[in-house]
């Protein structure tokens, strides 16, 4: 493990997801401890996107932005909201120059699949349909997220393709949660990794699926056909149960003719990107921003 990250491991609290309210409170406290990001040079605005029910979003607009990304927070579909993701969304906007549309999708177990996907897809359609009002180019809209949010982004890309929905320029998938089957090597062997492990992810899927069988829109790794999807940047962490499903998904995208950039970060673990003092975390954030900037450029 990267020594700068390893020093923080004894301080990290793992969510067990047996008490969602307590887990959300602890998750929010960890997010609040992250140093504030520089918001100078960008406008931040809270809006609602029409849906049933309406979906809260927060827009981060850097100066002279044109492209945008519909951004989905992590938290295992159970934790996280606009406030906990504020530091990450701000840094993505700053590093990429893109408008970040952070989505406050409904969370499980109160709102299992497909609530979060429906919310996200509604925001994508709203962003594309109101691009002029939002000051963005409708041909430069990406989807992306971290962990469960990255899995949602992949699912939205599948749904938009299948339903001939809004055009998506790019997928930015950071440590994506994609496969409920948990059969990969990393899923079977990483049973004690920091922040989350195989057991945590089992509960994530139990809450999200609510005893229903998984479809490709819930677990994108189950999709038989990945052709015709937007180009992707996929980032994985070495000591993460999700590592191998992210790598496999990237390879399958490549085999389906989709342009892919895959970055496997050695010495890292799931969520270690939040340890901002580490050099590797700073490089990860810069790479995410640079990949998005390239994808949305002329």
Q: Which of 147, 186, 272, 281 is catalytic?
A: 147
Q: In the chain, how many domains are there?
A: 1
Q: How far apart are CA 258 and CA 202, in angstroms?
A: 30
Asked if 274 and 250 count as a contact pair (C-beta separation under 8 A), the reply is no
Q: What is the mean pLDDT of residues 185-195?
A: 94
Neighbours of 14 (CB within 10 A): 15
* Cα separations in angstroms, 2 against 14, 257, 267, 278, 283: 19, 34, 4, 9, 13
Q: Is the pLDDT of residue 71 over 90?
A: yes
User: Per-residue pLDDT averaged across 142-168, rounded?
Assistant: 98
Q: Choose, from 240, 244, 272, 281, the residue flagged as catalytic.
A: 240
* Residue 253 domain boundaries: 3-296
Mean pLDDT of 166-180: 98
Let me know if 180 is a catalytic residue: no
Helix (H) or strand (E) holding 269: strand 260-269
Distance separating alpha carbons of residues 156 and 136, to the nearest angstrom? 19
Rounded Cα–Cα distance for residues 152 and 156 (Å): 6
229: pLDDT strictly greater than 90: yes
3-state secondary structure of 173: strand
Residues in the chain: 298
Q: Domain containing 234 — which CATH number?
A: 3.40.50.1820
Return the structure tokens found at 2.
């990267």
What would the pLDDT profile of 237-280 be if each residue is shown by its tens digit? 999 999 999 999 999 999 999 999 999 999 999 999 999 999 99
Which pLDDT score is estimated for 254?
98
Contact 238, 254 (CB under 8 A): no
| Confidence band of 38 (pLDDT split at 50, 70, 90) | confident
Flag whether the pTM goes above 0.95: yes
Check if 16 is active-site: no
**Separation of CA 36 from chain center:** 20
99-124: per-residue pLDDT in tens? 999 999 999 999 999 999 999 999 99
| Neighbour count for residue 195 (Cβ, 10 Å) | 18
- Choose among 246, 252, 248, 221: nearest CA to 234: 246
Q: Is 23 annotated as catalytic?
A: no
Q: How confident is the model at residue 41 (pLDDT cuts 50, 70, 90)?
A: confident
């Amino acid at each position: 493990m990267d020594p700068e990250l390893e020093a923080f491991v004894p301080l990290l609290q793992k969510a067990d997801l047996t008490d969602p309210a307590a887990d959300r409170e602890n998750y929010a406290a960890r997010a609040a401890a992250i140093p504030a990001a520089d918001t100078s040079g960008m406008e931040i605005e809270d809006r609602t996107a029409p849906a049933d029910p309406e979906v809260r979003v927060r827009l981060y607009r850097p100066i002279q932005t044109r492209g945008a990304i519909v951004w989905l927070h992590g938290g295992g579909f159970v934790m996280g909201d606009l406030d906990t993701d504020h530091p990450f969304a701000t840094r993505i906007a700053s590093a990429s120059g893109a408008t970040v549309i952070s989505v406050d999708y409904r969370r499980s177990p109160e709102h299992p699949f497909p609530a979060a996907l429906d919310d996200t897809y509604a925001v994508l359609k709203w962003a594309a349909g109101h691009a002029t009002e939002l000051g963005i180019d409708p041909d430069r809209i990406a989807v992306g997220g971290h962990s469960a949010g990255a899995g949602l982004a992949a699912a939205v890309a599948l749904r938009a393709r299948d339903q001939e929905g809004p055009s998506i320029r790019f997928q930015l998938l950071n440590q994506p949660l994609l496969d409920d089957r948990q059969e990969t090597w990393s899923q079977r062997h990483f049973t004690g990794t920091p922040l989350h492990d195989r057991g945590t992810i089992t509960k994530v899927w139990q809450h999200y699926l609510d005893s229903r069988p998984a479809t490709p829109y819930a677990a994108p790794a189950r999709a038989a056909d990945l052709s015709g999807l937007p180009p992707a940047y996929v980032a994985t962490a070495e000591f993460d149960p999700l590592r191998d499903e992210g790598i496999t998904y990237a390879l399958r995208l490549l085999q389906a003719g989709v342009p892919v950039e895959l970055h496997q970060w050695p010495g890292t673990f799931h969520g270690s990107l939040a340890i901002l003092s580490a050099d590797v975390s700073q490089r990860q954030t810069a790479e995410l921003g640079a990949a998005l900037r390239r994808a949305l450029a002329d």
